[in-house]
Structure 1
Amino acid sequence: MRKVSLMLFAATLVIVFLIGCGTTTPSTTPAITGPTTTMAPATTKPPATTTLPATAPATTPPVITAQPKYGGTFTWIHNGGITEIASVIDGAVSYRSLIPIFDNLLSVDKDGNPIPNLAESWQVAADGKSITFKLRQGIKFHDGTDFNAEAVKYNMEQMFAKNVRGAASLASVASYEIIDNLNIKFNLKQYDALLITRLAQTTIGMIASPTALKKETTAENRAQLHAVGTGPFIFDGWQRDSFVKYKANPNYWKGKPYLDAIVIKNIPDITVSIISLKAKEAQAVATIDPVDGLALQKEGYVLQRGTLLFIHSFVPDGANPKSPFADVRVRQALEYAIEKSAMAEGIGMGFFDVAYQSAMPDDPFYVSGLSERKYNPDKARQLLKDAGYPNGFKTKIVSDVRVRKDSLVAVQTYLAMVGIQTELDMADVARSTVINSNGWEGIYFPGFPVPNNLYSLAANWGATNSRVSVYKQAGFMEKWNALYAQPDQAKLNAQWRELTKIMHDDVMYIPYQADRSLDVLAKELRGFFLRANKTVDYWEPAKVWLDK
C-alpha cells in the first residue's frame, strides 16, 4: 500500500509539470502564478519516490570549535525584497535587514522566550497593570547619543503615533513613565502578553537614536540619517530592492564584531542566486527549495534549517451554515483524505515534517496524545456518506500566487479521490488578504504558511479580522483574550495548549505539513544561523565570521 501510494504521487507530480507547475519553489516564499480556475484531476492519486538528504541539515546553531577570526565581508542573498531601510518609525519592516543596525529592547532564547537585551531586566506588576524595564548603562547609539529611558519613550510614542506595523500592541499602553535615566515604566490599560513578545521578536522592539529621528529627511537621505541604532553594524549604503551594506561598529556594547562588513543582497531569481554562490560572490543563500538543496549538498555546501517552523494548512468555511463544512464530519473527511506523510516526503524530499496540529513536540503549546487523522480514504468517504454526501460534492479553493503549486495540486487530487471536486480561484496577494479578513466560500488555502510562534498564531487564529469563515466554538475568542491577559508564562502555555486542542478537536483547519526554511552556506561561513530562536528572520550578525 505504501509503495503504491508513493508511486502514484510521482504521477501527480508529472501532472503538476504538464499543467505548467513543474518548477518547484521555496515553500515560504512566493511561488508561481496559477490559472484563474483549474479543476483538479479526478482519477490520479498522489505521493512519491523521494531521495533523502545524505546529511541532515542542521536545525540548531552548530558548535564551533575553531577560534573565531576577525576580518572579511560576509555577503548573503535572499529573495524577499529590500523596500525600505531607515528606522522602524519610517516604515522599515525587514527584520533581517534591520537587525545589524538596531538592537531590540528584549531578545529571545533558543526556545523563543523573551530574555534581557537593551533592557537588563523587567518586572510585571502583581496586578498586571504595569511593566518596569531596567535599562543597561553605558550604551550609546552610533551617533554618540546615550541610550536611556527617554530614548525608549520617544521610540514607543513615535511608533504608535505613526501606526507602524505591529504598533497595535502598543495600544495597551496608557502612558510611559520615566522613573530615572535607566528605568522606565509602561503603565497599561490592560496586560497584553503579546507586548513583551513583540518587544523581543519584532521590529517594534528596535530602538533608534532619538537625535537621529528628529532630523528632517528626504526619501534620498532618510536611510543615512535615520538608520542609527545601537547594533553591531553601522549603515553604509543601500539600493532599493538590490542591496544593503553595513560596516562594523567598533564600539559595540557586546564587543567588536568579527566581520569588517556585511552585504545583504536581494536576488529574486534563485538560479541567479545559486550561480552567485558558486562564483564566490556570496557565502549564503536563504530559503532554497529541497531540490536545489540536495544538489548543492552533493557539491560540498552546507545545508541549514532554521528553528522556526512554518505550518502549512487549509481552512474550510465551517462558520457558513449553508456549507458542507459546517458539519464536523465533513471537516474530518477532509483530513482523512490527505496523505500527509507522502506529501512531506515527495514534495519536501526529507526536509518537511508531517503536521497534525499547530505545534511540534518541542513547542511549549504542543499537546501530546492528540489523535492523528492519518490517511484513510475509506473513512473519509464513509464520513461524507454519514453527513449526507454519498457522492461527494463540488466546492471552491481560494489561494494566492505565493502558494506551492505541487502541494496545492496534491491536495486537490486527494480530495477528488474521495469525491470532493474543487474549482481553484487563484488570487493575488492583496485580494487573498481581503478574503482572509472578509470571508470566503469553500476552502481557503493560504499562499504563505503560518510561523508557529505566539504572535503569528495569534494574528491568524486569535484575531477577529483573520480566518473569519472558520468554525469557532462558543467562547473560542474569549479564550484567546484570556491568554493575552495572562502574565504568568507557565499558565499562558497551558492556555495555549487548550487552544491547540480545541482547534484540533473541532477540525477548524487541516494542517498538513511543517517546514523550516532551508538555507545553503559556504563551508567557510561560521556563526550564521537564520531564523534561529524560533523567530522570523532572527540572526546574530556579531557572531558571524569567515574561516579563511
Structure 2
Amino acid sequence: MTLTLSRRCVPLGALLTVALLVLAACGSAPNRTEGHQGQYVDEIPLQDDFDPEAHFDYAYSVATSSWDPTQSVSGYDFVFLAPVYDRLVWSSPNGDLEPMLATSWTPTADGTAVDLTLREGVTFSDGTPFNAEAVKINLDRAVGEGSRIATEIAQLESVEIIDEYTVRLVAPTGAGALVGSLSQRAGMMASPAAIESGTLGQQPVGAGVYVVTETVAANYTDFAKREGYWDPSVQRVATMTFQLMTDDQTRLNALLSGQVDGASVRAFQMNAADRAGFNMVSRPTSLFAYLTVNSAQAPFDNPLVLEALNYAIDREAIGNGFYEGMCRPQIQPWPEDSFAYSDEIGDGLDVWAYDPEKARALLADAGYPDGIEMTAVTTNVTAYMQLSEAIQYQLGQVGIDMTIQAVPTPQVIETFSVQKSVQANINPYSGVADPHGVASRHLLPGATYDVGAPVSQQITDLALQAATPVDPQERAPLYAQMMQAMIDNPTHLMPICSLYAIDAFSDNVSSVSMNTLGMQDLRGVALS
C-alpha cells in the first residue's frame, strides 16, 4: 500500500509539524537545544528477583520481511532476528566489540585478513554443529550473489578454513571495518542444514537464545527459550512476543494499557511515558535522519541543486524542534562520540547553515528560477512520515514542490533503488554501526542507495582507505578527510541530524539497555 502526500493537501500531522517548525524558527518555542538529553539512563541493571518463567511483550515499528538474514532489507530487521541468530561478534551497549560465537579475532601481520577463533560445543537449534564450515557457508552467502546485505561486507574477499574452529577472513581493503560488520546481520549464523533445505526465509534456525514458535506476518512473532543454548545465564524469560506496531500512538497506548512490557517510543512521547511511571533507556546512536536523491536524474545531477537542498533544510528546527532535542543537528553521518567524527568540522551548521534565500539563488543559478518538482519515498512509519512532512514544508519555502510516497520498507528500495521511479528517499540510516557502513550503504559503487552519479574518486578512495586499518586511531584522520571531501564535492546523501533511540519499559523490566546501534538487542531481558 502506498500513501501519497502532496504539498497541496497537507495532512494534520504535517500541520502540527509545520507549527512547531515555525515557532522554532521565530524564536517563540521553548529552548529545546538539550531537549530530553541527559534525563534518562542508557541501561536498567538486572534485578535479582526476576522470574525465569515470565513472558515478555515488546512493541516495535518494523518487523523483518524475511527470516533469512541475507534477505533482510533494513537494519531495523535486527530486532526481530537477534533472538534467533547469535552473531560472530557481539556489540556491547557502548559499542565495544566482544566475543559471541567467535571468542577472539586477530589481524594478520600484513593487515589484509582477520583470523577468527570460534566457540566450541555450540549447536544450532536443529542440532547441526557450529564450526568453521558453518561460518564459511554463512559468510559466502552473505557476500554472494542474491544477498541483500552483500555491500555491508563487500570488503570480504574469501573465507579460508584453518581448522575445525578457526577461519581466516581475507579482506585486503577493509579488514578494519569487517569485524564490526560481523556484529550485525552479516554476522548472524544460520544452520547449514536449514540453508540447504531452502526454508530459512520462513522457518528460522539459528544458534540464538530463543526459537520462533509462531509468527504472523505484519502482526507478531512468538519466541520460546531454546533448550541446550550455550549461555543459559541470559535466558531470563521463558517466552517473548514481539508485536509490530508501525503507528507511534498505537505503541504508546499498548504500553500505557499494559498490553506490552516495553516499546520503542518517540521524543514527543517521553513525557507521557515518564508521567505514567515507565522507565526509559536512551542514548546517541549511529542512526541519523537523511535526505538522499538520485543524482543521475535532472535536476539533481547539478551540483548547485545539491547545494541548494543543503541550504534549504533547517537542521536545527528538525533536530531541536521536531525531535525535541533527541536528534543532534549536524551534517556529518557519524555521531559525535564516533572515532570518525571530525571535531574540526563539528556539526557543520556553519558550512550549510539554514539559508532559504541562498537556496533560491542557487536554484536560479542552476536554471530553475521557478523551482522544481520532486517525489520522495519514505517508510510508512509515523515518525518517518512526519519527518518527511517537515522536510516537505521546508523545501516548499524555496520553491521545491515535493510529493511524498509512504510505503513498507521493501518498497522503499524497490521504488528508489531498483525502479528509480522517485527522485528522493527520506529515512533514518539503519546500516552497520561502523563508519564504513555509511559508505557501503550510500556512497560506494553498488551500494543499496547509491543510485545516482558516482561520488568523486577522492571520496571513494578515502572510504576504502579508512576501512582498512584495524586501529581506529589510524582510521579517524582518513574519515575526517573524507568528510571534508564530501563538503567540497556535495554528494546525493544529506545527513540532517544524529538520532537518539528511545525505549520505555514497565518498572518490573530489567537487564535492558540502549546500544549504539539504536536497535534493541533484548538478549538477557528479565521481568520481576
Matching residue's letter, 2:56: F
Residue 166 of structure 2: which of 178, 183, 204 is its match?
183
* Number of the residue aligned with 2:261: 283
In the TM superposition, residue 535 of structure 1 has moved relative to its aligned partner by 2.0
* Number of the residue aligned with 1:138: 121
Distance 2:200 2:113 in 1: 38
Matching residue's letter, 1:248: K
Distance 2:44 2:280 in 1: 15
* Number of the residue aligned with 2:251: 273
Taking the TM superposition and a 5 Å limit, the aligned residue runs for 1:21-170 are: 21-23=11-13, 47=25, 49-50=29-30, 56=37, 61-62=42-43, 64=45, 66-67=47-48, 69-71=50-52, 72-85=54-67, 87-88=68-69, 94-160=77-143, 163-168=146-151
Does the 8 A contact of 1:45 with 1:413 survive in 2? no
In the TM superposition, residue 347 of structure 1 has moved relative to its aligned partner by 1.2
Structure 1 pair 176–313 and aligned structure 2 pair: CA distance change class (3 A): closer
In the TM superposition, residue 135 of structure 1 has moved relative to its aligned partner by 1.2
Structure 1 pair 240–462 and aligned structure 2 pair: CA distance change class (3 A): same
Q: Does 1:246 align with 2:223?
A: yes
Structure 1 pair 172–492 and aligned structure 2 pair: CA distance change class (3 A): same
CA RMSD in angstroms, aligned pairs only = 4.2
In the TM superposition, residue 323 of structure 1 has moved relative to its aligned partner by 6.5
Unaligned runs of 5+ in 1: 1-15, 28-39
TM-score, length of structure 2 as denominator length: 0.79
Does the 8 A contact of 1:103 with 1:231 survive in 2? yes
Residue 447 of structure 1: which of 402, 409, 426 is its match?
426
Structure 1 pair 388–105 and aligned structure 2 pair: CA distance change class (3 A): closer
* Number of the residue aligned with 2:326: 351
Residue by residue over 1:360-402, the C-alpha shift from the partner in whole angstroms, topping out at 9 and shown as x without a partner, is: 32111111132532756487379649x8589954123331143
Deviates more, 1:48-57 or 1:483-492: 48-57
Does the 8 A contact of 1:450 with 1:456 survive in 2? no
In the TM superposition, residue 346 of structure 1 has moved relative to its aligned partner by 2.6
SS at match of 1:115: strand
In the TM superposition, residue 438 of structure 1 has moved relative to its aligned partner by 8.2
Does the 8 A contact of 1:176 with 1:185 survive in 2? yes
* Number of the residue aligned with 2:495: 511
In the TM superposition, residue 268 of structure 1 has moved relative to its aligned partner by 3.5
In the TM superposition, residue 73 of structure 1 has moved relative to its aligned partner by 0.9
Does the 8 A contact of 1:400 with 1:432 survive in 2? no
Matching residue's letter, 1:365: A
Does the 8 A contact of 2:35 with 2:324 survive in 1? no
Q: Does 1:235 align with 2:217?
A: no
Taking the TM superposition and a 5 Å limit, the aligned residue runs for 1:293-332 are: 293-315=270-292, 325-327=302-304
In the TM superposition, residue 335 of structure 1 has moved relative to its aligned partner by 4.1
Q: State percent identity of aligned pairs.
A: 17
Matching residue's letter, 1:450: Y
In the TM superposition, residue 67 of structure 1 has moved relative to its aligned partner by 2.3
Residue 210 of structure 1: which of 175, 192, 197 is its match?
192
In the TM superposition, residue 74 of structure 1 has moved relative to its aligned partner by 0.8
Distance 2:392 2:200 in 1: 50
Does the 8 A contact of 1:151 with 1:210 survive in 2? yes
Q: Higher Cα Rg: structure 1 or 2?
A: 1
Residue by residue over 1:324-349, the C-alpha shift from the partner in whole angstroms, topping out at 9 and shown as x without a partner, is: 9524xx75555445443233333123
Does the 8 A contact of 1:237 with 1:246 survive in 2? yes
SS at match of 1:164: coil
Distance 2:192 2:158 in 1: 18
Structure 1 pair 59–132 and aligned structure 2 pair: CA distance change class (3 A): farther
Distance 2:356 2:123 in 1: 66
Distance 1:138 1:511 in 2: 44
Distance 1:447 1:55 in 2: 24
Residue by residue over 1:418-476, the C-alpha shift from the partner in whole angstroms, topping out at 9 and shown as x without a partner, is: xx3112243465477554578799xx552212248335411344222444546844522
* Number of the residue aligned with 1:4: none
Distance 1:357 1:235 in 2: 39
Distance 1:174 1:334 in 2: 38
Structure 1 pair 396–23 and aligned structure 2 pair: CA distance change class (3 A): same
Distance 1:372 1:161 in 2: 40
Distance 1:91 1:482 in 2: 27
SS at match of 1:207: coil
SS at match of 1:153: helix
Residue 478 of structure 2: which of 495, 520, 537 is its match?
495
Does the 8 A contact of 1:317 with 1:440 survive in 2? no
SS at match of 2:371: strand
Does the 8 A contact of 1:51 with 1:350 survive in 2? no
Structure 1 pair 399–432 and aligned structure 2 pair: CA distance change class (3 A): farther
Distance 1:303 1:396 in 2: 41
Distance 1:395 1:440 in 2: 16
Residue by residue over 1:69-105, the C-alpha shift from the partner in whole angstroms, topping out at 9 and shown as x without a partner, is: 23211110113134334x5368797321221122111
* Number of the residue aligned with 2:3: none
Distance 2:244 2:218 in 1: 6
Residue by residue over 1:156-194, the C-alpha shift from the partner in whole angstroms, topping out at 9 and shown as x without a partner, is: 344456733213556655554332222122345755544
In the TM superposition, residue 507 of structure 1 has moved relative to its aligned partner by 4.1
Does the 8 A contact of 2:262 with 2:503 survive in 1? yes
